[in-house]
Chains A and B, each alone.
Chain A
């Protein structure tokens, strides 16, 4: 069935991207990804013997505690707003926060021994308003593992509608006991690592993560002519020759994000639904599927996701004559749930800027369904111009973003 015919979205500039994963900030994460580092550690978010999950991908030195996700998010958003030089007293800035698990850790504590948590602490409006009182609105969007890219889509729509001068698109998730228990319950035996797109994949493991980026209209940032061509990914107003940029430094362009819901199954992915999101994203971006150079895939290492994702890529990108590189990060970072899409965006931005494409950690023997795809199994240099970023979630919620460099 054909999708809605969208108007082509106006591109937006991404002028800040801040990430926290088990491997560190965005720059450290990208460096580690290129080196093939695996960030897993023995699970400490819950008792491994009780939840049947042995490993997790924890943020460094972070204890498991109440409202940790709020703190991670606030840190990322504050840094992104500073980097983008937003003036909340003069600009109408809206924050859209994607999450899968909210602050359900507090509900879990209440269920056992703790005090009741106020409903207003389950979402992220109060914590962001506390650190950034000038925010015009804070929307908490709870869309499972594709929440970050759903937030990105709404952020772009808010700018297109003229409802904001800039949008902070953020995401956060920390591991909860209840979700760990569900992962452990549906696995015959605990998987020892995440193997995206590997023939011998045995399931997913969770990771903590937080991310925030800033979107502005194309004409709002004027620093592109002085963009620092470094691989650090840090947006900076100072450039090597001493000139001062007049505005925040663009990291890349968001061309469009496609959304769909499978409406087929509660937990099993559907190729048709995924394909609709990919096509919608490409149509909104105004790009030919054959022109996509790089796919930063969802790649959960589960029995059902990976073949479905491969088939959707085959039907849409390959059928149109495309032959993109395909990479994925969950083998190194775990599944950061609602944050996963924005982590993928950060990786795509760095790959577009530097030409370095990280390998899929954990992929040794590509699965049969992906035999036509060019999986990246060791770090390589390329010159991608267009990246396609995937995020899919429970309930069949699919989101696909198309990102371009600023070169």
Chain B
């Protein structure tokens, strides 16, 4: 189990979440679309960034609570890992390069698109943008990628490979990505969007190592992008990702996913980022109504007829963050 210390939902468009099982309406509208990412991220360094990458950067920016237009100058922090989840983030580049080569030859391809030809571009760009020097993973496992990535993030914490893991799920909805997604027959159209969930070790089981003298994450460091204590103003939430195929230990009263209130049916399918979107939504709901859901919220995702992965998002037992 890990502790969620911060999260964000970044779903551009005009479809706010309505009809949630608990009767709330969640304000997720108004998120900056990728073509206006500079409004949130600042003006420099965004050339040739793909929509999925821009959405991911926006989601992380918001989860970190950074002011709009501000890109901090940072030292590389080896204590922060990145796990990005998604499947379609660079298929448009792959298709475009292929078509260009066929029509005009390889010399017509822009070398600036080279990083986008590698499918881990979302994960590596988040690391580069924010100075996250810990392990960097790109999880591409189809419809379960979001929850698979959160499970791998928890594994990085348990293996003491990082003190904090920034998990981001992002998908675009360009023509190529949408056509490929449609071939998967998921029942709902692809929706461009992203979400971020930031994990730290669950403290009762895994003491924070920040008191060690040679740790790079001393709280008085002024030059790191990430605030030293993200939970200062928000309640901590715990996350337990179950093994693939495992059923609920006890069926939660509220499930976010195909077996319950399905975000894909209301907002469009976040596909490889959906697991992160759903966990971030669960965290948001818990933070607003913790006392009414002591058993937590279930999250599930998976392909039609394929393996399902589930997670439980619970209130922190101590009822508060580290701050």
Contact = CB atoms under 8 A, between A and B. Distances in A.
Given A4-B163, A101-B119, A397 B124 contact: yes
A129 B142 CA distance: 14
A372 interface: no
A260 B135 contact: yes
B160 interface: yes
Interface in B72-118: 75-79, 82, 87-88, 91, 93-102, 105-107, 109-111, 113-115, 117-118
A179 B117 contact: yes
B182 interface: yes
A394 B95 contact: no
Nearest to A145: B118
A160 B155 CA distance: 10
With a 10 A CB-CB cut-off, give which of B142, B216, B243 has the most chain A CB atoms.
B142
Interface residues of B, number: 83
A199 B181 CA distance: 47
A181 B97 contact: yes
A34 interface: no
A118 B182 CA distance: 8
Nearest to A124: B141
Interface stretch (B5-13, B125-133, B289-297): B125-133
B303 to A, nearest CB: 5
Interface of B: 75-79, 82, 87-88, 91, 93-102, 105-107, 109-111, 113-115, 117-121, 123-125, 127-128, 130-143, 148, 152, 155-156, 158-163, 176, 179-185, 209, 212, 214-216, 243-245, 271-272, 303, 306-307
14 contacts: A107-B91, A107-B98, A119-B183, A136-B243, A139-B141, A142-B139, A143-B136, A144-B118, A161-B155, A161-B159, A181-B98, A262-B128, A395-B118, A395-B120
Interface of A: 1-7, 9, 46, 49-52, 100-102, 104, 107-108, 110-112, 115-120, 122-123, 125-126, 129, 136-144, 150, 153-154, 157-158, 160-161, 163, 176-182, 184-186, 259-267, 272-273, 276, 393-397
Given A1-B75, A263-B130, 15 more contacts: A3-B78, A7-B160, A119-B143, A119-B181, A119-B272, A123-B142, A141-B138, A142-B138, A157-B159, A163-B243, A178-B101, A266-B115, A267-B114, A394-B121, A395-B128
Q: Lowest 4 A-B CB distances belong to which pairs?
A: A395-B124, A111-B95, A261-B136, A116-B183
